[in-house]
Amino acid sequence: MPQETQAHTVEFKRLTPHPESGAYSLDAVAELFELPFNDLVFRAQTVHRQYFDANKVQLSTLLSVKTGGCSEDCGYCSQSARHDTGLEKAALMNADEVIDAARIAKENGASRFCMGAAWRGPKTKDLAEVKKMIAGVKALGMETCATFGMLKEGQAEELRDSGLDYYNHNLDTSPENYANIVTSHSYQDRLDTLGKVRKAGLSVCSGGIVGLGETRRDRIGLIAQLANLEPQPDSVPINNLVKIEGTPLEEGEAIDWTEFVRMIAVARITMPKSFVRLSAGRQQMPEAMQALCFMAGANSIFYGDKLLTTGNPDVSRDRRLFAKLDIQPL
């Protein structure tokens, strides 16, 4: 092989899951993070093209259907009743208002509508309204997603029967780091809910946040947890911490942009058939960084000018970015 060609050949062989179990060890994930940046992004883009059209990105719109006053103490969250973030609480919205918002999201081009509630988990008294909103959004012809916290036995089936397609429940960080961020529920609680969601036959959306003050080893641990879920999550949101005044994490140092792109690339390589969503934090991200995330295999975004309680690039800005990158919505 001529010298020049050799120089461009990337050695991929060792960086694979365990040949028999298919599981990703922490060391195998760490090796991916340690690849030279260009080799990692190239590999991620190569894997991406095996399963997806590299010029298509899926659009999900979020709506907070019940805001603030949450009993949980997640250190990053504007909606925890334990932090003084100045957020105005709001009761559960009625189904008609939610369906109207979904209709607008659909007109703007979103294919999935994700309803979020600041709950430890849904209460029985709230389920009737929630099921009505899910059914109404589904009837618009959109994919439906909900993120309502921990589920009790039978609730996933109830949500499924009302028309729910996806349930979002993030592992957020490594098992070792979880108690530094949240103490009011455990990592095992999160895994148990994911098990119930899967058992009910719902599609699983699960990812995490970076920029919490975690180490790279924690990021590796999060990826290994997600990649070793059986089956792997259908969607994997990767959030860059949006710093919220009044939360314990308001003053931490953001991770370097290269580390964020690495996180996306490693998620793509280890979960080749999953949608990897470039999630919270896009408003603070330069366009070139977002473009690199797409190059590294991100193929989904939150679309619309609001996430749950914080801002997101508005629709016209995202349309301009997509036009520059020749990306089409899926």
Q: Which residues are catalytic?
A: 70, 74, 77, 114, 145, 205, 277
Q: Does 267 bind ligand SAM (CB under 6 A)?
A: no
Q: Between 15 and 70, whose beta carbon lies closer to ligand DTB?
A: 70
Among residues 58, 61, 144, 147, the one that binds ligand DTB under rule CB under 6 A: 147
Q: Between 28 and 222, whose beta carbon lies closer to ligand SF4?
A: 222
DSSP assignment string, 167-232: EE---BS-HHHHHHH--SS-HHHHHHHHHHHHHTTPEEE--EEE-SS--HHHHHHHHHHHHTSSSP
Q: Which of residues 215-254 bind ligand DTB (CB under 6 A)?
A: 237, 239, 242
Closest to 172 (Cα-Cα) out of 184, 158, 187: 187
Among residues 41, 202, 209, 292, the one that binds ligand SAM under rule CB under 6 A: 209
277 is an annotated ligand-binding site residue = yes
- Half-sphere exposure in the Cβ direction for 191 (13 Å, CA): 13
74 is an annotated ligand-binding site residue = yes
- CA dihedral (253, 223, 303, 43) in degrees, to 10, reads 100
Supply the DSSP symbol for 82: T
Q: How far apart are CA 307 and CA 257, in angstroms?
A: 21
Q: How far apart are CA 324 and CA 284, in angstroms?
A: 19
Q: Cβ of residue 212: shortest distance to ligand DTB, in angstroms?
A: 13
Span from 76-84, 86-94, 196-204, 280-288 in contact with ligand SF4 (CB under 6 A): 76-84
Q: How far apart are CA 231 and CA 224, in angstroms?
A: 13
Q: Between 206 and 299, whose beta carbon lies closer to ligand SF4?
A: 206
In terms of Cβ atoms closer than 10 Å to its own Cβ (0-12, 13-18, 19+), residue 11 is exposed
241 binds, among ligand SAM, ligand DTB, ligand SF4, none (CB under 5 to 8 A by kind): ligand SAM
Q: How far apart are CA 309 and CA 306, in angstroms?
A: 7
Q: Between 31 and 192, whose beta carbon lies closer to ligand SAM?
A: 192
Q: Does 58 bind ligand DTB (CB under 6 A)?
A: no
Residue with tokens 């389920």: 127
Q: Does 310 bind ligand DTB (CB under 6 A)?
A: yes
Q: Which residues bind ligand SF4 (CB under 6 A)?
A: 70, 72, 74, 77, 79-80, 118, 149
Q: Name the binding residues for [2Fe-2S] cluster.
A: 114, 145, 205, 277
Q: Which residues bind ligand DTB (CB under 6 A)?
A: 62, 78, 116, 147, 168, 170, 207, 237, 239, 242, 279-280, 307-310
